[in-house]
């Protein structure tokens, strides 16, 4: 969903972020409605967990296509509009897994680590036009996915978190909101970790 900070409505779009034509069409609609884009949050992501020797090539590629290629396609489309306005903020959601790795998630870790490197590179390319590119790297957050974990698995995770608790979705949302805002106008190429100290 796309919304306007000016309060003139929302635009609900269905798109496949891994498909170049689908992304191009969606951003054309955004441009036609508002003529500009002030902020972009690349938050779509998938997992296809498996140990390396059992991982299918298609599962490795599917994760890269959504998590990394999708971020590239949406960022490129948004950047074209932001360059004309000479302003904008892009926030890419990565993960603590991209920073520390995790057995059985080599594809996911690669996609998220790649997104961090991509973000730093783009931040250098377009910073002179007052466009900022940053990442938020969540740790383990209370979601339907973590709710489905066994108590033993949760305890194992919490033993590695100095703050002793899982994060809340608002913790991530607040970090994203900050990086999108003018309060972060002198921050770019940065990854803000929201992980309770799990990885430092």
The radius of gyration of the chain from alpha carbons, rounded to an integer in Å, stands at: 17
Active site residue 186: no
Burial, 38: exposed, middle or buried (Cβ in 10 Å; 0-12, 13-18, 19+)?
A: middle
Instruction: Give the C-alpha separation, 40 to 83, whole Å.
Output: 13
Q: Is 195 left (phi over 0), alpha (psi -120 to 50) or beta?
A: alpha
Neighbours of 29 (CB within 10 A): 13
Of 108, 133, 179, 184, the active-site residue reads 108
Catalytic positions are 108
């Amino acid at each position: 969903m796309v919304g306007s900070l000016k309060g003139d409505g929302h635009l609900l779009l269905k798109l496949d972020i891994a498909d170049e034509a689908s992304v191009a069409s969606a951003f054309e609609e955004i441009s036609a409605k508002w003529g500009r884009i002030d902020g972009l949050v690349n938050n779509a992501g998938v997992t296809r967990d498996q140990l390396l020797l059992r991982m299918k090539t298609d599962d490795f590629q599917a994760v890269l296509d959504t998590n990394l290629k999708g971020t590239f396609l949406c960022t490129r489309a948004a950047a074209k509009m932001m360059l004309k306005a000479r302003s904008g903020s892009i926030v890419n959601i990565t993960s603590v897994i991209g920073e520390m790795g995790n057995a059985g998630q080599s594809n996911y870790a690669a996609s998220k680590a790649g997104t961090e490197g991509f973000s730093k590179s783009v931040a250098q390319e377009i910073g002179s036009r007052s466009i900022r590119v940053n990442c938020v790297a969540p740790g383990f957050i209370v979601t339907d996915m973590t709710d489905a974990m066994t108590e033993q698995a949760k305890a194992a995770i919490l033993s590695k978190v100095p703050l002793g608790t899982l994060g809340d979705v608002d913790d991530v949302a607040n970090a994203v909101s900050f990086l999108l805002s003018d309060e972060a106008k002198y921050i770019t190429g940065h990854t803000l970790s929201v992980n309770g100290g799990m990885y430092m």
